[in-house]
């Protein structure tokens, strides 16, 4: 429809130059290179002196494989205006395919130099710290992130994502893959990525095609990340880039970039660079300063990096370049880790290895026992829900005394280890969280060996920093148990306003954290209100949770619940303290507020 409208505009406006260009751009963006060339040929006949038309004709000739004609056209444009980096790119690519390496290198270097000149003349430079970047640490792999964007159901990217997640386990053992995904990615693929140890960050479906391309760049300012690598899903990590990455980590430079083919005539290739956090602000801040002169195309992320990142990155970067070596200070790749002929860093694996067996699971089932973490700040409420689920489904509910004892022991052991090793990078709680994660894995395996389908454990900690990481684990479900904070305060026999305010703040944090996990990990978290377990409401509430947990109810067992204790007395001044602090969340959860 849009194409037809553009064609009509060309006809109605009697061949206005701008209409020709917009139609040709639309055809190019949709992959219809032959139609784009035909439009440009028509425009060239009417506007033979327009250099931009001739430039784009040369690019289209290259894309449809008419390389001699493309070179002739592009050389003519270059002779008229040597400053056009796009022309240099197309000439470098064309000469490389024609086997003329010298001319390809000449034009590739010209392209890089011109792009550098333009970018540094107008791009903002973010100040680098005075000191060298912190030494690379292998102590916490979650702080070293390989970042990807993934959306849709194209097997090229789904298979590539899974191959990357699997390969990184051996190629980058001190790093963690992170995939920014939306709900268009099949759940079975997301589950497989989790099983391979990847982090999953949920995002809304991109409003425009280039929004998704930029998700992976969000890692640049993540306070939980020390080092990052940005990669493409369809280019699988390999030993050559790993050796180059190690050389960068030892170089004292803040950033790293790679170029390994004749078409890599870009300052920062979107999937072949990395860096250290602490330099750039949030991505949204950087995007506000990006105002490209041309309409968005599939290389939008490349242009974004060139204009907004390169001027800063250039100040402290190690660039490995096997083709345009020496351009802008680049160096050769290390001698170790070489790849076979016709292989390079950043290549499209789907094109060169289309027959690699798929790793995408054939079914949506999740084998093995599930773990349910019943998270809440009210002991009575959590235990009531845990016991009710145990009666209704046969899951095993581990009481608070056991889990708290395990957690206390884990934290105590972690603190002892930290003191013994003399390391302060991780707190005792962080280390104990890691131990608890490992314990969950062992617990699931043990439960499966005993034919136990589901184990529920209670978590009463007021600090919930570990819940996000637990939610990322395959088979782990988070069930938030919410109780009216006024009743919690009454149960605890609190007598001071400060104590009630602390309950309110912890309750708010609990609700907000559950909401945050739900946004980032849809399907891994749900809530149940303690007040919904009255005789009149319990069946409906439990059935909903049983469905969420994918458990099979035991129809032959009649569930007898303990009485639900609500509307407990609390002095009005303390009730007011709690209501003022929790009003927004209480209304969202349909709790009544005093007038």
When comparing pLDDT for 260 and 371, which is higher?
Answer: 260
Is domain 2-119 classified as CATH 1.25.40.10? yes
In this predicted model, which residue has the larger pLDDT, 547 or 328? 328
Contact 272, 280 (CB under 8 A): no
Which H/E stretch holds residue 274? strand 272-276
CA 299-300-304 angle, 5° bins? 120
**pLDDT given for residue 363 in this prediction:** 46
The 10s digit of each residue's pLDDT in 153-171 is: 898 899 999 999 999 999 9
- Measured at the CA of 408, the angle between CA 407 and CA 413, to 5 degrees, comes to 100
Q: Indicate left, alpha or beta for 586 from its phi (over 0: left) and psi (-120 to 50: alpha).
A: alpha
User: Where does residue 458 fall: left (phi above 0), alpha (psi -120 to 50 degrees), or beta otherwise?
Assistant: beta
Q: What is the pLDDT of residue 396?
A: 76
Classify 477 as helix, strand or coil.
strand
pLDDT score of 378? 85
Question: Residue 119, SS3?
Answer: helix
Residue 107 pLDDT greater than 60, yes or no: yes
Look at residue 518 in the predicted model and tell me its pLDDT: 79
User: Is pLDDT above 90 for 118?
Assistant: yes
Angle between helices 85-98 and 67-80 (to 10 degrees): 150
Greater pLDDT, 522 or 191: 191
pLDDT exceeds cutoff 80 at 452: no
| DSSP-assigned states of every residue in 416-441 | HHHHHHT--SS-HHHHHHHHHHHHHH
In this prediction, residues 123-139 reach a mean pLDDT of: 92
Q: Tell me the mean pLDDT in the region 371-381.
A: 82
The residue-averaged pLDDT of 257-271 equals 95
223-232, 337-346, 460-469, range with the lowest pLDDT? 460-469
Alpha carbon distances (Å) from 408 to 381, 440, 443 = 22, 15, 17
Task: From 527, 526, 488, select the one nearest 506 (Cα to Cα).
Answer: 488
Residue 206 makes CB contacts below 8 A (sequence gap 6+) with 151, 182, 212, 215
Q: Which two tokens stand for residue 418?
A: 């930290």
pLDDT of residue 173: 96
Return the C-alpha torsion angle 444, 447, 453, 455, nearest 10. Answer: -70
Residue 533 has pLDDT above 70, yes or no: yes
pLDDT of residue 438: 59
Least confident of 4-8, 145-149, 353-357, 479-483: 4-8
pLDDT in tens, 414-436: 555 555 455 544 455 555 555 55
Task: Say how far apart CA 374 and CA 454 lie, in whole Å.
Answer: 12
Highest mean pLDDT among 34-48, 173-187, 452-466: 173-187
* Structure confidence at residue 366 (pLDDT): 40
Tell me the three state secondary structure of residue 263.
coil
Which pair of tokens denotes residue 441?
A: 């894995």
Q: Quick one: fold of 370-588?
A: Rossmann fold (3.40.50)
Q: Which of 291-305, 378-392, 575-589 has the highest mean pLDDT?
A: 575-589
**Separation of alpha carbons 131 and 128, rounded Å:** 8
* Nearest CA among 437, 401, 388, 434 for reference residue 549: 388
Average pLDDT of the segment spanning 342-353: 85
Cα gap 160→163, rounded to integer Å: 5
Pick the CATH number of 141-352 from 3.40.50.920, 3.20.20.140, 3.40.50.1100, 3.20.20.70: 3.40.50.1100
Average pLDDT over residues 107-112: 96
Please provide the average confidence, as pLDDT, over all residues in the chain.
83
Per cent of the chain over pLDDT 90 is 42
Alpha carbons 55 and 76: distance in angstroms, whole number: 9
Dist CA 547 CA 563 (whole Å) = 24
For range 445-471, the mean pLDDT: 59
Please state, in angstroms and rounded to a whole number, the distance separating the CA atoms of residues 298 and 289: 20
Identify the three-state secondary structure at position 365: coil
Radius of gyration, alpha carbons of the chain = 29
Gap between the Cα atoms of 488 and 482, Å rounded: 10
Task: Give the C-alpha separation, 515 to 188, whole Å.
Answer: 23
Q: Do 141-352 and 370-588 have matching folds?
A: yes
pLDDT given for residue 214 in this prediction: 93
Task: Return the structure tokens found at 48.
Answer: 């033979």
Query: Which of these, 271, 200, 261, lies nearest to 235 by C-alpha position?
Result: 271
Longest dimension (CA), the chain: 88
3-state secondary structure of 372: strand
Q: In what order do the strands lie in the sheet with 454-459?
A: 396-398, 454-459, 370-375, 476-482, 525-529
- Judged against a pLDDT cut of 80, whether residue 395 lies above it is answered with no
pTM of this prediction? 0.66
Mean pLDDT of 299-311: 91
Helix (H) or strand (E) holding 108: helix 101-122
Give the DSSP letter of residue 362. S
More confident residue, 123 or 229: 229
**Residue 409 above 80 pLDDT?**
no
Tell me the domain boundaries of the chain: 2-119, 141-352, 370-588
- The answer to whether residue 543 scores a pLDDT higher than 60 is yes
Q: Which residues have CB under 8 Å from 300's CB, separation 6+?
A: 209, 210, 213, 292
Question: What mean pLDDT comes out for the span 368-375?
Answer: 70
């Amino acid at each position: 429809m849009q194409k037809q409208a553009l064609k009509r505009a060309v006809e109605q406006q009697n061949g206005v130059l701008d209409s020709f260009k917009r139609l040709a751009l639309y055809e190019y963006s949709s992959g219809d290179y032959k139609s784009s060339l035909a439009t440009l040929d028509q425009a060239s006949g009417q506007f033979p002196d327009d250099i931009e038309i001739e430039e784009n004709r040369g690019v289209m000739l290259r894309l449809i494989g008419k390389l001699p004609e493309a070179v002739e056209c592009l050389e003519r444009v270059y002779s008229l205006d040597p400053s056009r980096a796009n022309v240099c790119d197309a000439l470098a690519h064309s000469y490389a395919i024609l086997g003329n390496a010298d001319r390809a290198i000449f034009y590739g270097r010209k392209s890089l130099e011109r792009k550098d000149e333009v970018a540094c003349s107008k791009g903002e430079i973010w100040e680098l710290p005075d000191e060298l970047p912190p030494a690379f640490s292998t102590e916490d792999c979650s702080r070293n992130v390989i970042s990807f964007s993934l959306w849709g159901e194209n097997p090229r990217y789904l298979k590539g994502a899974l191959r990357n997640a699997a390969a990184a386990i051996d190629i980058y053992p001190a790093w963690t893959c992170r995939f920014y995904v939306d709900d268009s990615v099949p759940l079975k693929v997301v589950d497989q990525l989790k099983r391979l140890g990847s982090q999953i960050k949920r995002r809304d479906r991109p409003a425009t095609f280039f929004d998704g391309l930029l998700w992976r760049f969000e890692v640049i300012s993540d306070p939980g990340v020390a080092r990052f690598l940005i990669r493409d899903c369809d280019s699988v990590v390999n030993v050559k880039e790993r050796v180059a990455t190690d050389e960068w980590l030892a170089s004292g430079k803040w950033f790293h970039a790679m170029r390994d083919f004749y078409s890599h005539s870009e300052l920062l290739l979107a999937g072949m660079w990395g860096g250290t956090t602490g330099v750039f602000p949030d991505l949204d801040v950087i995007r506000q300063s990006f105002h490209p002169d041309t309409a968005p195309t599939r290389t939008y992320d490349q242009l974004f990096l060139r204009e907004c990142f390169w001027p800063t990155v250039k100040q402290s970067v190690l660039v490995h370049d096997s083709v345009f070596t020496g351009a802008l200070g680049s160096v050769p790749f290390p001698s170790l880790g070489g790849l076979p002929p016709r292989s390079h860093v950043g290549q499209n694996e789907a094109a060169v290895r289309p027959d690699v067996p798929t790793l995408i699971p054939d079914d949506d089932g999740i084998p093995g026992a599930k773990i349910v973490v019943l998270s809440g700040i009210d002991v009575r409420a959590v235990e009531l829900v845990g016991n009710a689920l145990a009666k209704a489904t046969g899951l095993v509910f581990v009481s608070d005394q056991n889990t708290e004892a395990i957690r206390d022991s884990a934290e105590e052991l972690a603190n002892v280890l930290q003191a013994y090793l003399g390391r302060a990078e991780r707190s005792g709680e962080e280390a104990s969280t890691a131990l608890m994660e490992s314990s969950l894995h062992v617990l699931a395996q043990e439960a499966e060996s005993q034919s136990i389908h589901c184990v529920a454990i209670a978590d009463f900690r007021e600090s919930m920093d570990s819940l996000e990481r637990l939610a990322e684990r395959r088979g782990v479900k988070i069930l938030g148990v919410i109780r009216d904070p006024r009743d919690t305060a009454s149960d605890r026999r609190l007598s001071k306003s400060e104590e009630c305010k602390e309950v309110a703040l912890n309750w708010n944090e609990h609700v907000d954290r559950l909401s945050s996990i739900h946004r980032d990990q849809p399907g891994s978290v749900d809530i149940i209100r303690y007040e919904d377990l009255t005789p009149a409401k319990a069946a409906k509430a439990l059935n909903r949770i049983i469905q969420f947990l994918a458990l099979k109810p035991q129809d032959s067992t009649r569930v007898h619940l303990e009485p639900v204790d609500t509307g407990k007395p609390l002095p009005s001044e303390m009730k007011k303290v709690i209501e003022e602090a929790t009003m927004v969340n209480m209304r969202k959860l349909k709790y009544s507020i005093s007038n």
